[in-house]
Amino acid sequence: MEQLLTATVATNLYWLGRYLERIEATLIEVVSTFDKIIDIDPDAGKILFQKFEIDIEYKDAKEFLDSAIFGVHDANVNDLMGYARENAIICRTYLDTEAFGSVIELSDLLKQAHNSNFWVDCNFIDKALSLISEIWGELTRTEERNTSDYFIRLGKLVEKTDFHLRLEKDKGFSLVVMNEIDTIVSILTPNAKFETHTEKETYETILNSINGKIDKIIVEQ
């Protein structure tokens, strides 16, 4: 794992992991909510996006897909992918060649759809999710882990926890993910010490704890 990273590179690797995870989690939730709009509750999409502090309007399930993914709001997947692409370009030296190529391919796919009159459907989302799965696979296929790999993994895990808590799902899952975060933090900073958290604590307390650990690691790189 002997690999020296500047704080800037570490930060960009970390955010590459976060943005990719956010895009993937958003697409999965959108597809699930699409089904709910059709079968259970026409307002399911509005309820979902309220948890992201976003007001979204749509007339039907089909329009929900387009508004959810390419609407004018902070969860616009094309915009998020633009940020991921920027981070990948800055960290190009530390990324697997095929993984970098897949990031650019996913970015181009979303950008082209966003800039055209294309209407999003589940097949399009499946294609995007498939590319994200390829990226994760390409980023983790080597047996030996470098420092750069750990920062990407940290970004993925932190975003997974953040997203999970935003949706107000069970805290137990988030605490399990935090254990893996603590394991990685221990590898990067062997003298790190952690507080034990429980499901009784607030979402904010858990997230602040995670963010504090990440800030400490990045500053110390």
pLDDT digits (tens, 9 = 90+) for 158-206: 999 989 888 888 788 888 888 888 888 888 888 777 777 777 888 788 8
Coil, strand or helix at 197: coil
Q: Is 202 exposed, middle or buried (0-12, 13-18, 19+ CB in 10 A)?
A: exposed
The per-residue pLDDT for 63 is 95
- Has residue 3 got a pLDDT over 70? no
Residue ranges per structural domain of the chain: 7-220
Of 62, 29, 63, 22, the residue nearest 47 (C-alpha): 29
For 86-127, the pLDDT digits (tens) are 999 999 999 999 999 999 999 999 999 998 877 889 999 999
Q: pLDDT averaged over the chain?
A: 89
| pLDDT score of 47 | 96
2-6, 80-84, 174-178 — which one is most confidently predicted on average?
Answer: 80-84
pLDDT of residue 13: 95
Q: How far apart are CA 50 and CA 55, in angstroms?
A: 6
**Which residues, 6+ apart, have CB-to-CB distance to 174 below 8 Å?**
161, 164, 165, 206
What pTM was computed for the model?
0.91
Query: What are the structure tokens assigned to 38, written together?
Result: 């059709």
* Cβ neighbourhood burial of 181 (10 Å; 0-12, 13-18, 19+): buried
Phi, psi of 65 (to 5 degrees): -55, -45
Distance CA 18, CA 200 (A): 26
CA pair distance 50, 45, nearest whole angstrom? 9
The pLDDT > 70 percentage for the chain reads: 96
